[in-house]
Amino acid sequence: MTEQEQPKPAKPKIPRQKMREQDPLERAHNFYEVALGYDNDLALLESSRCLKCKKPYCMAGCPVEVDIPDFISMVKAGDVLGASWKLKEKNSLPRIAGRVCPQESQCESKCVLNKKGKGEPCAIGRLERYVADWAAEHAEGKMPELPKPTGLKVGVVGSGPAGLTLAGALIKKGVAVTVFEALHELGGVLVYGIPEFRLPKAIVRSEIDELRQLGVEFKTNWVVGRIETVDDLLEKRKFDAVFIGTGAGAPLFLRIPGENLNGVYSANEYLTRSNLMKAYMFPEWDTPVAKGRRVVVFGGGNVAMDSARTALRLGAEEVTIVYRRTMDELPARSEEVHHAIEEGVKFQLLTAPQEILGKETGWAVGVKCQKMELGEPDDSGRRRPVPVAGAYFDIECDTVIVAIGNAANPLVPSTTKNLETNKWGNIVADLETGKTSKDRVWAGGDIVTGAATVILAMGAGRKSALSMLQTFGI
């Protein structure tokens, strides 16, 4: 670290500003957004904490390389609209990123305020959210000027964070974009996976509307691989390039006895029923979901937290997360774990499910579990959970949600000629450019990396867009 990055000694010490939140006891029973965001005063105060480092480490921590010190200093100067343009130069989905990015392990982990151990990092994510929300509310209809159309066109398979980001980056360079989505609603995991209380659908829609206003074309109910293949898009539809961003959409199961009992869901199904199909509004909306009284969730990631918190909101009396390691190894964002605890989710740690118990009618009644302890670290660097001999116990429940991850959905890879995949079925693509083994085909996001975060998918979409532009000579 160099001299010039030292904070000025005279700077008054302002603590990191908290975001307002719904009361935990109240919000555990509604689907409204948990975090309420900054108001103008809080945003101004927080923006004044940024040190405007000459070498902004925070930017290196951002997968889409947002000009962080620049946008924050515009907030500080009172130019929120300008800050929003600055944000959107790199990030086409800032209202989404400001809500679901794991900022604590990205930009904010690199913040000098944090690195020097002198306090908490500047709340970059919260400021991003504030700026993007403000712009959506106050700058409606104001669009950046677009360059002349280049005559090039790109087809995008999947309307999740990777595909949307790529679409935004290309349309701003005069490349026509058509996005193909298999579901009836756009947004991919942002609408079927992430619950309303963490990312309201209206926010996703507003971001997509903005892309539509910029000229991106969207086709829903359009299953690439079945209606037409990727090869058809290139040859028959004459797209200059295709980007595959189909995500990691095949739920994994533990393959333990009882997993096909009634009341046992993949997290994808449970969340899709609730989020996309609004099962929490049943019977006003037609799709039902089992409203368990006692719910057990397997897994410790963000999806497990989302499932557990959804179960509470659907009216469960008791929701328990069963995880093989300890609290320290939970892969979920600490903020989400914290929210889950506040709302009353229980954690049964160092525990591995062995069997789902059922009754004659085919419904789940409980889970047989084994106690675990931590042994030596494994390949992932985390200490491996080891069974404690003979230590079994049952948890009574009527609903089980399996949230242990997703594998690659085989539909597009299996119907595309000469597209290399790895042993897990993921598409092989260069992580820096998104280029695949197939000419004119790029891929990014979970279909390449396996299940990861929204922002990494956005980063992959952006890198692929830049690589395509370079190939096009733009």
- Residue from 84, 114, 165, 266 touching other proteins (CB under 8 A): that is 266
Q: If binding is defined by CB under 8 A, does position 21 make contact with other proteins?
A: no
Beta pairing partners, 386: 373
Q: Which is nearer to other proteins, 285 or 392 (CB)?
A: 285
Close Cβ partners of 44 (under 8 Å, ≥ 6 residues apart):
75, 76, 78
Q: If binding is defined by CB under 8 A, does position 222 make contact with other proteins?
A: yes
Q: Which stretch binds other proteins (CB under 8 A): 7-15, 180-188, 390-398, 427-435?
A: 180-188
Q: What angle do CA 98, 101, 104 make, to 5 degrees?
A: 105
Q: Which is nearer to other proteins, 270 or 442 (CB)?
A: 270
- At 296 the three-state DSSP class reads strand
- Subset of 58-97 contacting other proteins (CB under 8 A): none
Q: Which is nearer to other proteins, 89 or 231 (CB)?
A: 231
Q: Which stretch binds other proteins (CB under 8 A): 62-70, 258-266, 336-344, 433-441?
A: 258-266
Q: If binding is defined by CB under 8 A, does position 288 make contact with other proteins?
A: yes
Backbone angles phi, psi at 354, to 5 degrees: -110, -35
- Residue from 365, 411, 452, 469 touching other proteins (CB under 8 A): that is 411
In angstroms, the Cα distances linking 408 to 250, 251, 427 are: 6, 9, 8
Q: Which stretch binds other proteins (CB under 8 A): 102-110, 194-202, 275-283, 318-326?
A: 275-283
The residue assigned the tokens 């494994």 is 378
Q: If binding is defined by CB under 8 A, does position 142 make contact with other proteins?
A: no
Q: If binding is defined by CB under 8 A, does position 268 make contact with other proteins?
A: yes
Backbone angles phi, psi at 323, to 5 degrees: -135, 140
Question: What DSSP line would sit under 304-361, residue for residue?
Answer: HHHHHHHHHHTT-SEEEEE-SS-GGG--S-HHHHHHHHHHT-EEE-SEEEEEEEE-TT
Q: Which stretch binds other proteins (CB under 8 A): 196-204, 259-267, 388-396, 420-428?
A: 259-267
- Residue from 387, 410, 425, 450 touching other proteins (CB under 8 A): that is 410
**CB of residue 463 vs other proteins: minimum separation in angstroms?**
25
- Residue from 226, 236, 293, 338 touching other proteins (CB under 8 A): that is 226
DSSP tally for the chain: helices H, then strands E: 19, 17
* Residue 418 CB neighbour total at 10 angstroms: 10
Q: Which stretch binds other proteins (CB under 8 A): 31-39, 220-228, 302-310, 388-396?
A: 220-228
- At 36 the three-state DSSP class reads strand
Binding string to other proteins for residues 359 to 398, with x set by CB under 8 A, is what?
--xx------------------------------------
In angstroms, the Cα distances linking 203 to 212, 288, 306, 313 are: 14, 25, 18, 20
* Residue 174 CB neighbour total at 10 angstroms: 17
- Residue from 117, 144, 151, 283 touching other proteins (CB under 8 A): that is 283
Q: Which is nearer to other proteins, 221 or 422 (CB)?
A: 221
Q: Is the dihedral of CA 327, 255, 189, 111 positive or negative?
A: positive
Interface ranges with other proteins (CB under 8 A): 182-184, 192, 220-223, 226-228, 249-251, 253, 255, 259-260, 262-263, 265-266, 268-269, 272-273, 277-278, 281-288, 290, 361-362, 409-411
